[in-house]
Structure 1
């Protein structure tokens, strides 16, 4: 008896899928159209089309400085998240010890808290140590959100590497650490790359926690966007939003092309 092949989606499923994608993409499309507006105020549809607000964006010194700060901060958060998350992920994926599930739960706990509560708690904790509006304070705060994502992805990537390969390396004389560094981590490199990219995006896009911890001389791009939107109502906001969307999309596509972000996130 021949096995039936996979069923093709029907027209109703296609219609629902198109409607779902349209609902998700509609805000970005509206922002993209408004970012090319020739008008002086946010309006849809725009009165005309122009690149004037992208030129104004490039000429805005505060936004350029905030972009550089966010990029550097996100890069540091990605590195620190891997340094912390990779050993934790290896312990969860490979080792068997009492409280293993508790450790995994504690590492994921920041994702369960509202970012408003987390931001206030970090402000109260970092203020006595004089780490508010400092690079170490921002890196530490952003890592509270980025590390859980890195641990989740790296746990799946390490668990997908067969234990027998490490055992074979040890029987050939490699130390446990050398077996991990020379065998497990290279095979888990796609997950490592995906974890770094996701940690970068989490930090680059973080707004609520940053609002509690930035200062007049150290601010991030999302906070600068928020402050700009409080005082002005012109399409430069839409142009900046499109820049953020393009940066995030470019990173996701590069990681998907190089390492397979979808596969890294979907592994059990």
Structure 2
């Protein structure tokens, strides 16, 4: 059944409301003026040039890229086995494990940030790479587990059972049969974990320091004291990074295959 004209109009209106702020930010990022005004008084690339020449923001960008890559790797290393256990194994407390892994998504990030600060302070993990990786992984791993559970569940169990009958152990069958088929889901999980870490702001505000900062936090602090269009240029750059990661996943594996729906 094809959607009617009214339903299509409502869908277009919804898309318009969602995309309108991004369009405004995109236009303002090319402003030639000194302040955030819309419409801009003129068009220029001056604020992108200023962004590239801002050493503090570029250093924060490097920190965010490295941090996001480490979080994505940890999310796969921890979330992969956990997702396989939830999707394939039958053991007491399986539902509890799944609930605990999803619990960070149910709590406000402000609460998580305060809790992490209180927990990390005695351990001297505040403003350190291990502390940032652990803090971001707390919210990235649940997303990775959710996607990989779907990917593992889409692989027929009969394939593993066939490998068992041919002499493979459960571990070898999972490693040689299930994991390669579910690899698109792992790629999608890593991409999502990367984006979650790269965009995380609230938790980062509690665990970063003056010498170790992330790009979203630096952007937040910059916007507190200035109102020039470089903030818009930085926002467009962040959107471009997220879009590039999404397009890369779509190009490599496709979202339907990554989620195990083909």
Matches for 1:109-124 after TM superposition, within 5 Å: 109-124=103-118
Task: Indicate whether 1:184 and 2:178 are aligned.
Answer: yes
Using a 3 Å threshold, how does the CA distance of structure 1 residues 119 and 265 change in structure 2: closer, same or farther?
farther
Instruction: Name the counterpart of 1:11.
Output: 5
Name the counterpart of 2:76.
82
Q: Distance in 1 between matches of 2:255 and 2:107?
A: 25
The aligned residue for residue 25 of structure 2 is 31
For 1:17-69, what per-residue CA distance to the aligned partner results, in whole angstroms no more than 9, with x for missing partners?
Answer: 11010011001000000000000000000000000000000000001100000
What SS does the aligned partner of 2:123 have? coil
Q: What's the offset of the Cα at 1:262?
A: 4.9
- In the TM superposition, what whole-angstrom CA distance separates every residue of 1:92-125 from its partner, at most 9, and x where no partner exists? 0001111111110010000000000000000000
TM (norm. structure 1) is: 0.95
Q: Is the 8 A contact 1:156 1:264 kept in 2?
A: no
Superposed displacement of residue 170, structure 1: 1.6
Count of aligned pairs: 261
Structure 1 ranges of 4+ moved more than 6 A: none
Q: How much does 1:174 deviate?
A: 1.5
- In the TM superposition, 1:64-213 aligns within 5 A as 64-213=58-207
Shift of 1:138: 0.2
Superposed displacement of residue 197, structure 1: 0.1
Given the alignment of the two structures, is residue 49 of structure 1 paired with residue 43 of structure 2, yes or no? yes
Report deviation, 1:13: 1.0
Give the CA RMSD over aligned residues: 1.1
Q: What does 1:209-224 align with in structure 2 at a 5 Å threshold?
A: 209-224=203-218
CA 1:266/1:161 → structure 2, altered by over 3 Å: closer, same or farther? Answer: closer
Give the superposition deviation at 1:260. 2.4
Q: Which whole-Å CA distance do the structure 1 matches of 2:112 and 2:64 have between them? A: 20
Q: Distance in 1 between matches of 2:216 and 2:69?
A: 16
DSSP-derived class of the 1:128 partner: helix
Q: CA deviation at 1:265?
A: 4.8
In the TM superposition, what is the alpha-carbon distance from 1:259 to its structure 2 partner? 2.0
Aligned to 1:241: 235
**Distance in 1, Cα, partners of 2:259 & 2:122:** 38
CA contact (8 A) 1:63 1:224 kept: yes
**Would you say the 8 A contact 1:252–1:261 is kept in 2?**
no
Say if 1:89 and 1:158, in contact at 8 Å, map to a contact too. Answer: yes
In structure 2, list runs of 5 or more residues that go unmatched: none
- Of 104-113 and 256-265, more deviation after overlay is shown by 256-265
Q: Name the CA distance, whole Å, in 1 between partners of 2:132 and 2:11.
A: 39
- More displaced 10-residue stretch of structure 1: 103-112 or 173-182: 173-182
- Per mean C-alpha deviation after superposition, the further-off stretch among 140-149 and 168-177 is 168-177
Partner of 2:223: 229
